Structure 1
């Protein structure tokens, strides 16, 4: 291990509490990660010292808040390897970022008879916006199939991708199974037929090194709250040449240059897509989350998470009645499973009684669950602050549950 785990855990106040009379074991990191002390202090510090609207004020508080807000934009640019800070748009989250592309790029460039390609691993937020767009435009939604292993059937990609495909929108890493998709191959083949590519990076940005220049994607969407940052903050990266020709997403303050009843001229990017007062305090606090990742190091984080996943697979596989769901060769620290003859929701409730937080259900991936013939799964997802002893507690609780039902 490249860091002191106890020292690192001490930076996360929420971890040091009891739930139902037991020390908390938090294993729901794919839903949201916990926040280090520096993020919490940055958020309260903004409201205590710097609370003011940004970009439009001449006074000191407004200037400070604007500077801090734009520092976060530059930090995000560096974090994902974007060419310039203007290619970074702040949204409410991954969901809004995807909807923004659907409502702007989609409405302008998708026509009747065109096709949009997604995968069978998608979160609902990367399915429903495209269904709505297809219904509006008379376009067709196509799907890259999923194998029993939880991996994409890449042999079928050429069947569903064609010159009719105008946009490919795929998840980089599955939130339900942890599968890492071969997005480099998908992007290259999509570009070869003239399609643009959006990557849902909600899970990948917290586990993998993501460089938009190297990936050559056209759009990337992700959320701060899965990166040790606050909720209510998302990012849309887009190539400048695309953002400049896309219409605005919403109308209002900040996204304009000049307004007249005869017509309006729009602001430059990124402000053209950031109408109204943004989530200033949380964006500023997000900078500290990115700083935390830099301090620990992406490589060290990945090494710890991979270690935890391997240990969890080995430890839980010893349990009679343990059924893993998703066995992809390339995956992040997400482990979906079932306990034989026990409903996933019941497993989750019994684990909660032992102070262990996991996620149960379909994980907003109902088409994937239908493909696998399941109602849902239990999902344990690990972050850098988790430990082997916490996995041991999970295993011991699951052993008791399994014995009770088998």
Structure 2
């Protein structure tokens, strides 16, 4: 009996979606804005903006510190965001989700609370050449304090991790492996399940930087098989200063607090302090409550679209933009991975990336220029900087056409 064909997904109504994002209607230098800097930070839908505004207008109070109604409402919003994130990443338990200011804080939490107490001279941390500085510098800092070293697995000319070399480098002295899920410069998608499987065989915990993955693809930390997974809210439509760390409970229970202060304790005496259980053990002080109300709204928005539809649209847009850039003379594209998210890093022959970005801005086009917090990757490609056009589901082919036309006009000015 023939299997029924998969039902066709309804296409995205991109114009309706764009109407949800107020900033996309803005003009820049009297030109319609073309916002292609989504890997840096995503734009916010009205529902997220309203959730933050509603919190301050109707519910503003601190969490877990009052029995009055406003305090209960603020706590419900904050803890509701934890529930939403746990669902979003398929965490086994909400108590394994630590709310942080973003991936940088999440990685530093693992560096100082998990790695630092365990590392000693002769140990190593393994990462890759394509990492963001946030997945390099914290490991260097704790390595300097312990006598450990940081090793980096190589990539190939297409910008893909050489998985065989990574596995070969998982030697007995490696006590932690740290890999980005999606490169912020190249869009390369790393094979996390395969990497996690090889790490588990050797008893090496794996941390995954999911900042660039969460806006574009469904995340299932259980299926991935990693030990730690970090996300950033502002790249996935949520407010800045929000994010999360997921970690296996066995690790969290063995980790001492990184920050100390209020609300992360059971009892404080001068003779000693008894700390709260995870996750609150790692959430000292007053958090970004309104921001996390926005996180819950952002997740609801993304789930309402559906990642299958979102991904299909973005991949089509990526292919269209890549082909359009390739048709321009003098363009060099960095990163040709077989699987990648909608990020294109490139240079125009004879033009500096920062000059190009400045002139494109005058045309209303917002792209990123520079080293993208990825100096080792720039060194690998032998360039000081690139331009980066990073796309999202609210961008359009008409914007790609406008972007390419703007490059043509800028090219005439520079050549």
TM-score with structure 1 setting the length: 0.98
**Map of 1:285 onto structure 2:** 294
Q: CA deviation at 1:192?
A: 1.2
- 1:85 corresponds, among 83, 94, 98, to 94
- 2:50 corresponds, among 23, 27, 41, to 41
- 1:225 corresponds, among 228, 234, 246, to 234
Alpha carbons 1:232, 1:282 under 8 Å: kept:
yes
- 1:18 corresponds, among 27, 49, 52, to 27
Q: Relative to structure 2, which stretch is displaced further, 255-264 or 150-159?
A: 150-159
**Map of 1:9 onto structure 2:** 18
**Map of 1:132 onto structure 2:** 141
Rounded to whole Å, the distance in 2 between the matches of 1:381 and 1:308 is 11
Q: Where do residues 1-400 of structure 1 align in structure 2 (5 Å cutoff)?
A: 2-400=11-409
Deviation string 1:99-152 (CA, Å, 9 cap, x unpaired) is 000000012222221110000000001000000111111111111101111111
Alpha carbons 2:12, 2:313 under 8 Å: kept:
no
Rounded to whole Å, the distance in 1 between the matches of 2:354 and 2:39 is 17
Rounded to whole Å, the distance in 2 between the matches of 1:158 and 1:174 is 19
Alpha carbons 2:365, 2:403 under 8 Å: kept:
yes
RMSD (CA atoms): 0.9
Secondary structure at the aligned position of 2:246 is classed as strand
Rounded to whole Å, the distance in 2 between the matches of 1:135 and 1:335 is 35
Rounded to whole Å, the distance in 2 between the matches of 1:107 and 1:374 is 34
Rounded to whole Å, the distance in 2 between the matches of 1:45 and 1:230 is 14
Rounded to whole Å, the distance in 1 between the matches of 2:206 and 2:72 is 37
Q: CA deviation at 1:3?
A: 2.4
Rounded to whole Å, the distance in 2 between the matches of 1:182 and 1:216 is 11
Rounded to whole Å, the distance in 2 between the matches of 1:182 and 1:374 is 26
Q: CA deviation at 1:401?
A: 2.4
Deviation string 1:226-248 (CA, Å, 9 cap, x unpaired) is 01000001100011111011000
Alpha carbons 1:87, 1:237 under 8 Å: kept:
yes
In structure 1, runs of 5+ residues without a counterpart are: none
Q: CA deviation at 1:321?
A: 1.0
Q: CA deviation at 1:17?
A: 1.1
Q: CA deviation at 1:193?
A: 1.2
Q: CA deviation at 1:184?
A: 1.4
Deviation string 1:259-289 (CA, Å, 9 cap, x unpaired) is 0010000001100000011111101111000
Rounded to whole Å, the distance in 2 between the matches of 1:157 and 1:125 is 20
Residue-pair matches, total: 406
Secondary structure at the aligned position of 2:332 is classed as strand
Runs of 4+ deviating beyond 6 Å = none
Alpha carbons 2:120, 2:148 under 8 Å: kept:
yes
Rounded to whole Å, the distance in 1 between the matches of 2:151 and 2:33 is 43
In structure 2, runs of 5+ residues without a counterpart are: 1-9
Q: CA deviation at 1:402?
A: 2.6
